[in-house]
């Protein structure tokens, strides 16, 4: 490697670093200044003292977990089956899982409301059926991440040989999936689950338009009425995303290519 000093390199590296950290530092700094003339964590105390914060966080975290579970149940067997039996379907399935990049969330929620809020479905009438609808929306939203993670993981192992070996030892389909395929996909499923969880917890649009008490809409309300709490919420929210994505980068050495959805 060349060790020659290149001023341009350092200029761009500095610009990038400043652009990354200024907003983070600015937010953090702002969040500490609630008490005039002192550096305190008062804004954070206020956030945590607000029962609505805890409620909405609990709701979003619960929805995140449910979405992760549904995604795993839906995508892992499907991807496995496609790799094993229907490789010809792979391009089609890949295309379908990329559709959320083309259909913005605001259009998706528009479609969901138009389709499912009226008869015969009327799913927005009760909280429970709305939660089913919103979970479906979340699964769709995080589908590109989950599918890609599982697909990449599945490609790295020899699905056919593993399956045949397990079957020749007398394992049934369920057993093959649960005790042979799943353990081999631990890292992939963990990565997919963490991105899914982070996406759901930070999501605004679905929860806002389906009127559910999630973290996103709560943050908008706080942002409209207060000065310092939003900054504290922003830092907390960044921290959560960073923890999720940081773990992924650790376990998968940054192999998962991330892409934005739902902002």
Partner 1 sequence: MAEIADVRLSRLRPRAGFALVSVWNYLGVLPFFAFIIAFLIFPATNLFAGAFQDAKGNFTLVNIQGLFSPYILKAYRTSLEVSLITSVSGGVLGFFVAYAITLGAAPRWVRSGLLTFSGLAANFGGVPLAFAFIATMGRTGFVTAILKSICYSAADASKVCPLDPYEAGFSLYSTVGLAVTYTYFQFPLMVLVITPAIEGLKREWREAAENLGASAWQYWWHIGFPILLPSILGATLLLFGSAFGAYATAQALTGGSILLVTIVIGQQIRGDVLGDTNLGYALALGMVVVMAVCIALYTLLDRRTSRWLRR
Q: Taking CB under 8 A as the criterion, which residues in 130-169 touch partner 1? A: 136-137, 139-140
Task: Examine residue 106 and tell whether it contacts partner 1 (CB under 8 A).
Answer: yes
| Residue 73-102 contact track with partner 1, rule CB under 8 A, x = bound | -xx-xx--xx--xx--x---x--x-xxxxx
Task: Examine residue 64 and tell whether it contacts partner 1 (CB under 8 A).
Answer: no
Task: Examine residue 257 and tell whether it contacts partner 1 (CB under 8 A).
Answer: yes
Q: From CA 197, how far away is CA 186, in angstroms rounded?
A: 16
Angle at 244 between CA 228 and CA 45, to 5 degrees: 25
Q: Min. distance of Cβ 232 from partner 1 in angstroms? A: 9
The DSSP symbol for 169 reads: T
Cβ atoms of 256 and 191 within 8 Å: the answer is yes
Among 30, 41, 65, 190, binds partner 1 (CB under 8 A): 30
Task: Examine residue 40 and tell whether it contacts partner 1 (CB under 8 A).
Answer: no
Report CA torsion sign: 41, 46, 49, 52.
Answer: negative
Q: From CA 96, how far away is CA 80, in angstroms rounded?
A: 16
Name which of 156 and 227 has its Cβ closer to partner 1. 227
Task: Examine residue 254 and tell whether it contacts partner 1 (CB under 8 A).
Answer: yes
CA atoms within 13 A on the CB side of 103: 18
Among 39, 52, 58, 103, binds partner 1 (CB under 8 A): 103
Choices 47-55, 155-163, 178-186, 222-230; region in contact with partner 1 by CB under 8 A: 222-230
Tell which residue, 138, 180, 140, has the closest CA to residue 162.
180
Name which of 167 and 241 has its Cβ closer to partner 1. 241
Choices 8-16, 60-68, 150-158, 181-189; region in contact with partner 1 by CB under 8 A: 8-16
Name which of 1 and 49 has its Cβ closer to partner 1. 1
Q: Min. distance of Cβ 26 from partner 1 in angstroms? A: 3
Cβ atoms of 229 and 46 within 8 Å: the answer is yes
Question: Helices (H) and strands (E) in the chain — how many of each?
Answer: 13, 0
Angle at 181 between CA 176 and CA 185, to 5 degrees: 165
Q: From CA 246, how far away is CA 33, in angstroms rounded?
A: 28
Among 34, 68, 72, 109, binds partner 1 (CB under 8 A): 109
Tell which residue, 183, 200, 201, has the closest CA to residue 76.
183
Among 61, 69, 237, 251, binds partner 1 (CB under 8 A): 237
Q: Min. distance of Cβ 179 from partner 1 in angstroms? A: 19
Q: Min. distance of Cβ 145 from partner 1 in angstroms? A: 10
């Amino acid at each position: 490697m060349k060790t020659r000093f290149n001023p341009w390199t350092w200029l761009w590296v500095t610009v990038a670093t400043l652009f990354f950290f200024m907003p983070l530092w600015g937010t953090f700094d702002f969040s500490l200044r609630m008490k005039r003339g002192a550096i305190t964590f008062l804004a954070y105390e206020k956030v945590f003292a607000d029962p609505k914060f805890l409620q909405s966080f609990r709701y979003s975290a619960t929805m995140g977990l449910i979405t992760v579970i549904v995604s795993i149940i839906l995508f892992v067997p499907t991807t496995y089956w496609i790799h094993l039996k229907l490789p010809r379907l792979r391009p089609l399935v890949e295309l379908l899982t990329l559709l959320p990049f083309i259909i913005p969330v605001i259009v998706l929620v528009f479609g969901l409301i138009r389709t499912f809020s009226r008869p015969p479905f009327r799913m927005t009438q009760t909280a429970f059926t709305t939660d089913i609808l919103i979970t479906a929306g979340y699964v769709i939203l995080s589908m590109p991440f989950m599918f890609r993670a599982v697909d990449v993981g599945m490609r790295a192992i020899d699905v056919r040989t593993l399956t045949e070996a397990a079957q020749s030892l007398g394992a049934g389909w369920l057993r093959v999936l649960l005790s042979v395929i799943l353990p081999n996909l631990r890292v992939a499923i963990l990565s997919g689950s963490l991105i899914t969880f982070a996406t759901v917890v930070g999501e605004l649009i679905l929860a806002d338009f389906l009127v559910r008490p999630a973290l996103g809409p709560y943050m908008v309300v706080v942002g409209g009425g207060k000065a310092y709490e939003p900054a504290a919420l922003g830092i907390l929210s960044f921290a959560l995303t960073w923890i999720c994505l940081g773990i992924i980068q650790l376990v998968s050495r940054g192999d998962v290519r991330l892409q934005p959805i739902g902002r």
